[in-house]
Structure 1
Amino acid sequence: MPDLLVGPLLRYVDEAGASIWVETSEPCEVTVEVGGLRAAERTFTVHGHHYAIVDVEATGPYTVELDGRAVWPLDGFPPSRICPVEELGRVVFGSCRTSVPHDDEHVRTHGVDILHAYGRRLMEGEDLPSLMIFLGDQVYADEPSQQMLDFIRSRRQDGPDEIVGFEEYAELYRQAWTDPVVRWVLSTVPTAMIFDDHDVRDDWNTSETWRRQMAEVPWWPARVISALGAYWVYQHLGNLSPSERKADPVYAAIRAGGDADGGAMLDAFAERADQDPASTRWSYSRDIGRTRLVMLDTRSARKLDRGDRRMLDEDEWSWFDELATGGVDHLLIGSSVPVFLPSGIFDVESWNEAVADGAWGPRASRVAEKIRQALDLEHWGAFRKSFEEFGRVLVDVAAGRRGRAPATIVLMSGDVHYSYLAAAGPVSADLDSARIYQAVCSPIRNPLSRTLRLANVIGSFGVASLAGVLLVRTAKLPRRRFRWKITNGPWFPNALASLELDGRSAVVRWHTARPDFEELTRISLTS
């Protein structure tokens, strides 16, 4: 008799229906019923695990059955429901969530899980958001919890105390998504996701040198193949619309095998995606009413050639360039790593890239590469050509040179373990009336220690500001073509942000839990 292991997750939702993802204990038929309408899908199998995505053209409360047996909703929880999404109203976003218990010991070390706190708030009757966006590090494959370490050590005695194979990734996702409150949230609020480095490994694709070094690690090939395969199953498939998913050749081939295990096909796909990033696209976009959402892959799609590093390779850049237009009320861009960092850190990253590329000679280049990896100098400032191209596009869109100017262009990011708002524009811009904003929300649950918080404030907002200016001059880097300033923050607690859209108006808020869910700040982005 099949059981529901993970899910249901409410993923893609539009004005008429939704896609619901599940993992089950054995092959079965998964049925979703909404208001008398029933939609069913047979599970597919990879590496001994069984999954289905059911597309249903209806909205309202729903139930889930496995081979005709009701398994959802859970007793004691409100019904899960599909709410039609015709316009984006409230968009909740954040990144960096570790999956540890909610007891006093872990609250002391990891803080209150803001996603769990928000879920309880929603269960008490707060209006549901239109969409929840997870901007990376949904799981930590390189920093497993004690519960995850226990699972790893029960299976093998060799290899690293990190995730290696698909079976371990499956357990990692199970632990991340099956807390009852979090599980209910994910069953009720539509989600969009993109990876960052810890979904695979810290500093993933920071440089070509990093890739060469990792290729020499015996367990790395299995790790990266399992990471991308698991990401495809647990996160990527649900990002796609039903028509996009049906056009996915890997999905079609695995489903065509019936109950046969498609693990080998998935591994071949994942290996090809790692070795040839242009062979697949993890980025995606959606037009929802008068808002366009573009979610960028800023990890796998990097070009790492010395002297010509790009955050987005040529194919990925062309794809984004076509989508970066006006004619919408709001243009939302998800980039797991922030575009506009504190200016001092940005300058240090740009200097480091130039030196690593040979500006100070071969010996300094090798030292710069070590610094790049040690200090995580891998954001947009460390890919200066891409940053300049990206900035020019944003300025053109904001100025109305690519169609009617949006009221706001909001870049949503995480990664850095603190939250802030920055305003940006061309050099001549009045940033008090900006259209371009960087909203960073991190972490959901993985706070920095007090010592590291102080170090970040001093390093990012103090010493780096002076050092960055001096270093940029020594590397003879060109002046920036636009400017930005951090207008609010930084804030270091676990947090979720919400972007509230109403016509051409936009308000952004940050929320934390100490321990109750509360608002940190509220900022209007439009006059």
Structure 2
Amino acid sequence: MTASLPLGPVLRHVGPTSATVWVQASAPGRVRVAAQGGVTAVADTFTVHGHHYAVCEVVGLEPGSAPPYEVFLDEERVWPEPDSAFPPSTLRTLDPDAPTRLLYGSCRTPTGDTPEGVVRYGPDLLRATARRLAREPVRDNLVMLLIGDQVYADEIQEPMRAFLRDHRRESGGEGPDGEVVHFDEYAELYRRAWSDPQVRWLLSTVPTLMVFDDHDIRDDWNTSAAWRREMDGRPWWRTRVTAGLGAYWVYQHLGNLSPADRDKDPLWARVREARLDAGDEVDAFALRAHEEPESYRWSHRHDLGGVRVLMLDTRCGRALGEGDPSDGSRSILGPGGHAWLDENLTGGPDHVVVASTVPVLLPPAVHHLEAWNEAVCAGAWGGWLRGPAERLRQALDLEHWGAFRYSFGRLADAVGRVASGERGPAPASVLLLSGDVHFSYTAPVRHRDVGGDGSTILQLVSSPLCNRLPANFRRMARLSASAPVHLAGRIMTWLARVPPSPLRWRLSSGLYFGNTIGEVAFAGRTARASWYHVAEGGPEALPEVRSAVDV
């Protein structure tokens, strides 16, 4: 059998002199990454539920370099593929003195830009970004942030449905129609998401950091304690969340870690020590992470030149208490997540970026609605309304930061302290990068305790990469951003005795419902945010800037 890579190589965590390359191999063996100039790295594959993976840590590279590289499996070259139309893949390391540029986005359904796919989902901005970067010289610290819904485990297309039918008929596996449940099914879902030639080249040459959102596991994952109880009662859910978190660790989270952090990861040690297949170890870890969220930290920090990036877990680590919204028993980060954020959300860098998959700041009317709903679910208007309020929460997806008063207040306080210089030298900006909502916007923020000489605070949202909203949902979203609904929301929160927020914000750009990928270019103490889209043209059209704003 000819050796091959079903997926990868994917360039993940990079430093000034090192680069992490993740691959999925067709068979167990030894993977070698060979960079131009004679620098190489070798790693044996590890196996999880019959699938083979490797993580190669290439060290000894020059800061700010981008040497081309090849990948070998048992001395057979498996990358680059013959006759590739793209430039060679490169190991792009960080230059501490160079400008930094972040690409970010979320919510992608792979379509290959087929005519029917473009009609329903819009053009794929990951594919378009690959075409753009293949033509542009890159001279800065370019890093891509994929902030949620890298795969849709609960909203799959017909080819994947056919795979599930065949797989379950052959394996005897069970699960709901149209949703993945088992690790093998997740493996196929990731293969379909990342094997497009254009996306594959992009991931092989641009360092990428990732974090999950709900659809990586299931829509509205951990919305509330009531949602959790309902899902725990379904016979297939335990298998689903175990497979989903295990696959996430393998495919996404493992590459986020620096070499030092990976060596400290308890699961990584067990996986490497497994003699044959580490599936049992991964399953046990994933189930514990689900049942005991404080047992593992999914959030991660990266210092990219003068920019600090904090990637937040706003899903698995949630605390879902049903008491007073202000007592911390219900929080979007959980106790450990908040402690980690307090430790890392400090001054000192030129810019601080908080990447939260769900926006911290929604259109103000929606924020008020979520805050009101949380209060009513907790009994602010009497016990008889708690049930209807919970049903409304789940029906309208009222589960962003506004629906977690304790977490929102704690983050707002931390941002204010950083922006005012109370936690070290104030950065030029504190940027909140988000996706999730399937529309894009800018929201300038004022904090009541931050004067004119404090940091700029800005919410930037870019979503989706490829999954645009149907027309009826767009109409609802536009209504939610209207002035009358905003006023109604303020009245409702006042009647529910929700304390006022220290933050004031507005949407300065309106809502854009097309597919986008966001970009923030940093240069010293300045920054510029842009949103790229594909205005018109076929599957080979290049993205162009739709809007931009100086930070």
Q: TM-score range by the shorter chain?
A: over 0.9
Offset, 1:463:
4.9
Offset, 1:277:
0.4
1:273 aligns with 2:305: no
2:78 aligns with 71
Unmatched 5+ stretches in structure 1: none
Q: For 2:373, which of 341, 352, 358 is the aligned residue?
A: 352
1:108 aligns with 2:110: no
2:385 aligns with 364
1:253 aligns with 2:265: no
- Give secondary structure in 1 for the equivalent of 2:482: helix
1:86 aligns with 95
Q: Which amino acid aligns with 2:70?
A: T
Q: Which amino acid aligns with 2:121?
A: H
Partners of 1:432 and 1:163 lie apart in 2 by: 51
Asked if the contact 1:22–1:52 (Cα under 8 Å) also holds between the matched residues in 2, the reply is yes
1:143 aligns with 155
2:399 aligns with 378
Q: TM-score, length-normalised on structure 1?
A: 0.97
Sequence identity, in percent?
Answer: 46
Q: 1:59-87: CA deviations, max 9, x gaps?
A: 51000000000111122231000122124
Q: Which amino acid aligns with 2:31?
A: V
Stretch of structure 1 that moved more, 306-315 or 355-364: 306-315
Q: Which amino acid aligns with 1:81?
A: T
1:323 aligns with 2:344: yes
Asked if the contact 1:424–1:434 (Cα under 8 Å) also holds between the matched residues in 2, the reply is no
Q: For 1:456, which of 477, 494, 499 is the aligned residue?
A: 477
1:127 aligns with 2:138: yes
Offset, 1:42:
0.3
1:219 aligns with 236
Q: Which amino acid aligns with 1:254?
A: V
Q: For 2:248, which of 231, 235, 245 is the aligned residue?
A: 231
Q: For residues 430 and 422 of structure 1, do their structure 2 counterparts lie closer, same or farther at Cα, with a shift above 3 Å needed?
A: farther
Q: For residues 483 and 431 of structure 1, do their structure 2 counterparts lie closer, same or farther at Cα, with a shift above 3 Å needed?
A: farther
Q: For 2:49, which of 33, 47, 50 is the aligned residue?
A: 47
Q: For residues 432 and 353 of structure 1, do their structure 2 counterparts lie closer, same or farther at Cα, with a shift above 3 Å needed?
A: farther
Q: Which amino acid aligns with 1:46?
A: V
Partners of 2:388 and 2:165 lie apart in 1 by: 37
- Give secondary structure in 2 for the equivalent of 1:507: strand
Q: 1:423-477: CA deviations, max 9, x gaps?
A: 1122376899961111101000000122221221012335531321121121011
Partners of 1:212 and 1:402 lie apart in 2 by: 40
Asked if the contact 1:424–1:431 (Cα under 8 Å) also holds between the matched residues in 2, the reply is no
Q: 1:194-250: CA deviations, max 9, x gaps?
A: 000000000000001100000111111110000000000000000000111111111
Offset, 1:37:
1.9
Partners of 1:362 and 1:306 lie apart in 2 by: 12
Offset, 1:146:
1.3
Q: For residues 275 and 149 of structure 1, do their structure 2 counterparts lie closer, same or farther at Cα, with a shift above 3 Å needed?
A: same
- Give secondary structure in 2 for the equivalent of 1:404: coil
Q: For 2:547, which of 507, 521, 524 is the aligned residue?
A: 521
May I ask how many residue pairs the two structures share in their alignment?
524
- Give secondary structure in 2 for the equivalent of 1:151: helix
2:511 aligns with 490
Partners of 2:148 and 2:484 lie apart in 1 by: 28
Partners of 1:348 and 1:7 lie apart in 2 by: 43
Q: For residues 511 and 212 of structure 1, do their structure 2 counterparts lie closer, same or farther at Cα, with a shift above 3 Å needed?
A: same
Q: 1:338-395: CA deviations, max 9, x gaps?
A: 0011111000000000000011122201111101110000000000111011101101
Unmatched 5+ stretches in structure 2: 324-328
Asked if the contact 1:425–1:431 (Cα under 8 Å) also holds between the matched residues in 2, the reply is no
> Once superposed, what is the RMSD of the aligned Cα atoms?
1.5
Q: Which amino acid aligns with 1:10?
A: L
- Give secondary structure in 2 for the equivalent of 1:234: helix
Asked if the contact 2:420–2:455 (Cα under 8 Å) also holds between the matched residues in 1, the reply is no
Offset, 1:324:
1.1
Partners of 2:228 and 2:500 lie apart in 1 by: 31
Q: 1:391-413: CA deviations, max 9, x gaps?
A: 01101100111111000001110
Asked if the contact 1:395–1:425 (Cα under 8 Å) also holds between the matched residues in 2, the reply is no
Matches within 5 A, 1:495-514: 495-514=516-535
Stretch of structure 1 that moved more, 115-124 or 263-272: 115-124
- Give secondary structure in 1 for the equivalent of 2:181: coil
Stretch of structure 1 that moved more, 155-164 or 281-290: 155-164
Partners of 1:181 and 1:139 lie apart in 2 by: 17
Q: For 2:319, which of 303, 306, 314 is the aligned residue?
A: 303
Asked if the contact 1:112–1:514 (Cα under 8 Å) also holds between the matched residues in 2, the reply is no
Asked if the contact 1:496–1:511 (Cα under 8 Å) also holds between the matched residues in 2, the reply is yes
Asked if the contact 1:424–1:483 (Cα under 8 Å) also holds between the matched residues in 2, the reply is yes
Partners of 2:362 and 2:476 lie apart in 1 by: 16
Partners of 1:432 and 1:358 lie apart in 2 by: 41
Asked if the contact 2:112–2:124 (Cα under 8 Å) also holds between the matched residues in 1, the reply is no
Partners of 2:505 and 2:416 lie apart in 1 by: 12
2:326 aligns with none
Q: 1:93-121: CA deviations, max 9, x gaps?
A: 00000112321111111111011011011
1:335 aligns with 2:356: yes
Q: Which amino acid aligns with 1:66?
A: L
1:193 aligns with 2:219: no
Matches within 5 A, 1:173-184: 173-184=190-201
